[in-house]
Amino acid sequence: MHYEILIPILVLGLGFLIIGPKKLPEMGSAIGKTIREFQKSMSEVKAPEKTEQAEPKQIAASTSTTDVKAE
């Protein structure tokens, strides 16, 4: 049996029964906005990690040049 087709139909049917047809689009929109905000915040969290990895190399390079000047 094709459960891939049956499951979304069942979920939509239960959604209509529990939430109602008038509120279902609003709920879907709210869930979509929540997922987008979550993905946006996760990408912002990952971006600073890349810049933090680049900074130690710059610091290490600057300390090595001061060591050369001291000698």
More confident residue, 43 or 57: 43
The rounded distance, in Å, linking the Cα atoms of 21 and 5 is: 21
**Percent of all residues in the chain with a pLDDT value above 90, rounded to a whole number:** 18
pLDDT digits (tens, 9 = 90+) for 16-25: 888 888 888 8
Average pLDDT over every residue of 35-53: 79
What is the band of 34 on the pLDDT scale with cuts at 50, 70, 90? very high
How many domains, in total, are found in the chain?
1
Whether 8 shows a pLDDT value over 70: the answer reads yes
44, pLDDT greater than 60: yes
Domain with 45 in it = 3-70
Q: Are 27 and 19 in contact (CB under 8 A)?
A: yes
Q: What does 11-30 look like in DSSP terms, one character per residue?
A: HHHHHHHHT-TTTHHHHHHH
